[in-house]
Every structure is written in structure tokens, then in C-alpha cells.
Structure 1
Amino acid sequence: MFTEAQLYSPVTRTGDGDVMVHLSDEHPGVRDPEYRARRNAIAAKALDYRPGDPLPRIDYTDQEQQVWRIVCAELRVKHDKYACCEVRDAGAMLNLPTDHIPQLDEVCTGLAPLTGFGYAPAAGLVPLRQFFGSFADRIFHSTQYIRHHSAPLYTPEPDAVHEIIGHGTQIASRRFADIYETVGAAVARLETDRALKFLADVFWFSMEFGVVREHDEIRCYGAGLLSSYGEIEEFRHARLRPLNVVEMGTAEYDITRYQPVLYCARSISEIEDVIGGFFAEMDDETPDRAVRSTHN
């Protein structure tokens, strides 16, 4: 099952107002006091944000900007080779800067005329109901920190690369943005945590790690693949299965490793019909119906 909390470093605030991001012992930046101070400061800006306020702007360092430039250069080549046409076309229209990390208001300015999506800052983990539910208003909650400079092509947690290059490029597509909005509408109907987790798991295997057959090749459209320098090279070696929301919503998997099983659509239209159609119809009884269907 999907355990999103494992992806994010916990963020706490003391009674004195001090903000701390708790990096794991394996995090590349855990022994870098300057990086840890940066993470705390960036998280504090997100925690202080209130809807309606100007989006917080981060004064990124030269080192952080260099990380962005390295990642952009590498991912541009890989998107040309491995991403589906829908994503590549959307990315071209969004035209994210490659020479500097875009501020969230820059991303919003680019997305607004394309799909009407906007971004809101996140210090770290956003509760599932809030995160997915905001899609109904075409809002995406995004972290603003950048991965550690010692490993520019690796991150143990979602950072600005994942949120902006991965998800931003994806929701620049009107067809994918419409699916996101359908996810948000579904969350508004759901009352049980079980149904919410089922939705999150289907989202994981589609909008995060989805692949599609295109011109007799397997191409990716999932944000997790689009933003991963390593996994975007390896996903074609995964075991491919046809779209099956029952399997996607009940599969067990390890979020810390490359996914050994991926669900491959035959076209973008099938993603809209099967995945979008599922989100449009799901309700609190969906997990029970899924379990019953596997026993029949």
C-alpha cells in the first residue's frame, strides 16, 4: 500500500517558533549544517504561508542553481528519448527555465493559460486528503527545497525537481490536468481512509509511475519517472501489465526502490478512459468491490 509519509522528511515547529526538518541518517545532506539550515528556513516560509498571500520566494544559492542546471540538462535528453509525446508537447508549452530554479509564481504564470493550475508551497508532507483534494481547485502543493549538491542526480524525497519538472510538466497537459481535477472531485466524495488510500495507490501507478505504448515503444508519462534521472533509464525493464485499477489499488510495493511492475496504457485516450473514468466514479465502496472482484 502507498505510504507517502516515508517519502518526506518530517517537519516540526517548537513552541518558540523554530522550524526543523528531520533528515534521515542516510540523507546526502544530513551532515551538512548549511544545507540543514537552508531546509529549515525554506520549510518555515511554507508553514507561514496562508492562502491568498503572495507565494513565498526563495533566494536560491549559486550551488542550488547549479544543481538545477545539471538536472535540467540531463533530464532534457532523457525526456526526448523516453517521455511520451503528450508530455514533451506540454513541456515545450510550459517552457520551464533551465538556467535557474523557477519560483512558484513563475510556474503558476506558465501553467495558468495552459490548464489553469497553480501551485501552493509545502514544507514537506501534505496530508493525502488536502493534497489530492486541492486538485479540484487546480492547486498543486509543492515543496521548494532542492536536493543536496553532493548528489545532484539523486534525491531520497520529492524536491523542487520532482514537483516542478515532474508534476508541472505533466499538468501542463490539458488532458492530464483534467484527470487531476477528477481526482480532486473524487476526494470530496470519499469519507473513509481506506478509499482514500485506494485512490492514492491508483494515482501512484498512473500519474506517478505510468507508462504508455507509443509508436511501438514504451514511453513514460508519470511524474515520478519524468523527474528521476535513474529510473527513467530503467523503467523499460519492468514487468508491464495492462491498466487494471483493481490491481493498481491493491498492489503491495516498495516506494524506496525502482518499481518492478508498471501498468502500461495503449494510448493517452485509454489513460483518460480507464484511469480518469475510475476517478470519476469511485466512492467509499470501491475497495470492497475491488476485493470481491478478485475472489470471484
Structure 2
Amino acid sequence: MFEEGQLYAPVTEDENGVTVHLTDDHPGANDPEYRRRREVIAGPALRWRPGDPVPQVEYTDAENAIWRTVCAELAPKHERLAIRGFLEGKEALGLPTDRVPQLDEVSAGLQPLSGFRLHPAAGLVPLDQFYGSLADGVFHSTQYLRHGSQPLYTPEPDIIHEVVGHGNLLANPAIAEVKRRAGEAARRCETEAGLQFVADVFWFTIEFGVMYEDGELRAYGAGLLSSYGEIEEFRGATILPLDFYSMGTVEYDISHYQPTLFACDGMSELTERVGEFFAEFDDDTPGRLLAARNRTAS
């Protein structure tokens, strides 16, 4: 398992303004202009409340160029390695490839397809809020972009990961329903352990899930579909069948390509079996899964 906070640079606000705390090894750590830009984008998102207009970001030419580069590089990889459901959602949503879209623009495209909308996030959203909001058809999305020195790499989820990965997935109604059920599971949790279990199964499905389709192993996880490098490497991982107890308890390192992935046998296993897991999950589910495993082993 992992701590969600490892994924995001902390964002704070005090009398001196908003500060985004980048780690020393972040590509933009020693770039004062990039730091200031991150803080300019983070401020309105940090202060935003539901019902307010979604903050608009006037993206720079350099930021739009990063978006164009990533979209151009990922497009042929998606055609070759992504599941049909993602490709169909991507076509239906029709995101611009020449500029960074605004969050409310993406929401306007998603609403008639799956009913989802995007809310702005300055950085880390508390686990219960992030997953619980999925039950309401809300996905929390960052608005900043990765550093221009490495346009095909980001150490944290940026708008490219959120929109190219998750946004296109949410354009597929069946996959969006699985996410909604994950949110409902999170809402039912009364313990941190239960919520973390939901988050970890989500990680190995919606974030880093793979699927056998027409005899080929293809990607459906947003983390793979938005990663220029990892999407080319996932077929070299150890591929296991779905095992919810293992997915909810295995130790893994988020800073490296995932060495072990869990595969669905077609879209129906994702929408039915994974969807059913989230639909029936409660705090006692991990214990029941462990007991069933022990009975099978004895």
C-alpha cells in the first residue's frame, strides 16, 4: 500500500501567500519561475468551494506546447496498447490536442456521456473526500502541468494525467460506473483501513489496470494511459489474475514502474467483477477475503 500524499507536492497558504512545496528532486525544484507558476495556479483551486465558478487558467504558450507534445506522443501508443473502451471514450469526449482544456470544458463534454464533472484541486485531496466524491460523479483534478524540461515525465499527477488518463476513461459510461461504485464503497467505510483497502484496489484497477482483449494484453489504467514510458513497459510486468485481497494488501512502490499488475479477462470482468467488488465492499470485506483464502489453502 502507499500513502496518497506521496503523490502530491504539499500546498499551504499563510499570510505570505500560497506555497507549493516541491521535493528537491522535482524537475522544477530549482526553477523559480515554475514555482511561482504553480503557486499562481494553486491559489484559486485551494480557495475554491463547490458552487463557485471553476477557476480558469490562462495557459501559456509553453504549457500548451507541453500538452501538444504529450498528446502527439501518446496517440499512437493508445491506438496500439489501450483497450477499446478507452479509445471509444477518447473519441466521444474529443479533447483538444493543441491546447490545454479548461476543467469546465472537460466537464461539459463528460456530462452527457457519463454524468461526471471535474472539480479543481490544488494538490492532495483527502482520501475520503477524493474517493467519496466519485459516488456523486465528481473527479478532483489538478490544473498545473509538469515541468517543461521533461514534458514526457511527471513525478506527480498533473492535468495531463487527470484529463488524458482519467477524463477519457470517464467518457466511457461503463468504466465511469465502476468509479462511481468505488466512491460508494469509500462512503460506506467507517475505518481508515477499509478506506485504504478501497484505495489500493482502485490503484491496481482504475490507475494501473490491464486487460486481455482479443488475445492481447492492453491497458485501461489511467496511470498507464497517461505515461509515455510506462505504457510501453507494462507487458513486461508480472501479470496476475484479479485477486482483491492481494491487490488490497500488497506492498508497492509508486516511484517506479509497477512490477506486478492484475489483469481483467475482458471488459465484462472489469464492469461486473470489479464493479461488484466495490458495490458490495464494507469494512469487513478484507477479513472475509482473508478467511476465504485461508479455507482454500487448508
State the TM bucket, normalised to the shorter chain. Answer: over 0.9
Equivalences for 1:3-152 in 2 at 5 Å? 3-14=3-14, 16=15, 18-152=17-151
Partner Cα distance (1:53, 1:115) in 2: 22
Partner Cα distance (2:170, 2:27) in 1: 29
Partner Cα distance (1:123, 1:242) in 2: 36
Per the TM alignment, residue 60 of structure 1 is displaced from its structure 2 partner at its CA by 0.9
Helix, strand or coil: the match of 1:137?
coil
Paired letter, 1:244: D
Partner Cα distance (1:270, 1:80) in 2: 22
Equivalences for 1:189-204 in 2 at 5 Å? 189-204=188-203
Partner residue, 2:167: 168
Helix, strand or coil: the match of 1:253?
coil
C-alpha distance after superposition, 1:43-83 (max 9, x if no partner):
10101111111100001111111000000000111101100
Equivalences for 1:238-249 in 2 at 5 Å? 238-249=237-248
Per the TM alignment, residue 17 of structure 1 is displaced from its structure 2 partner at its CA by 5.7
Paired letter, 1:13: E
The alignment yields a C-alpha RMSD, in angstroms, of 0.9
Partner Cα distance (1:38, 1:295) in 2: 53
Partner Cα distance (1:265, 1:136) in 2: 23
Helix, strand or coil: the match of 1:147?
coil
Helix, strand or coil: the match of 2:135?
helix
Paired letter, 1:141: H
Partner residue, 2:235: 236
Partner Cα distance (1:210, 1:263) in 2: 6
C-alpha distance after superposition, 1:230-282 (max 9, x if no partner):
00000000111111111111111111110111111111101112211100001
Partner Cα distance (2:291, 2:13) in 1: 44
Deviant stretches of 4+, over 6 Å: none
Partner Cα distance (1:291, 1:45) in 2: 45
Partner Cα distance (2:79, 2:249) in 1: 33
Contact 1:243 1:274 in 2 (8 A): no
Scaled by the length of structure 2, the TM-score of the pair is 0.97
C-alpha distance after superposition, 1:68-113 (max 9, x if no partner):
0000000111101100001001100001100000000110011011
Scaled by the length of structure 1, the TM-score of the pair is 0.98
Partner residue, 1:224: 223
Partner Cα distance (2:253, 2:294) in 1: 25
Partner residue, 1:254: 253
Partner Cα distance (1:215, 1:2) in 2: 33
Partner Cα distance (1:292, 1:25) in 2: 44
Q: Percent identity, aligned pairs only? A: 56
Helix, strand or coil: the match of 1:241?
strand
Partner Cα distance (2:236, 2:139) in 1: 31
Paired letter, 2:162: E
C-alpha distance after superposition, 1:4-24 (max 9, x if no partner):
11010011111x161100000
Unaligned runs of 5+ in 2: none
Partner Cα distance (2:40, 2:290) in 1: 45
Paired letter, 1:293: A
Aligned residues: 295
Partner Cα distance (2:2, 2:276) in 1: 21
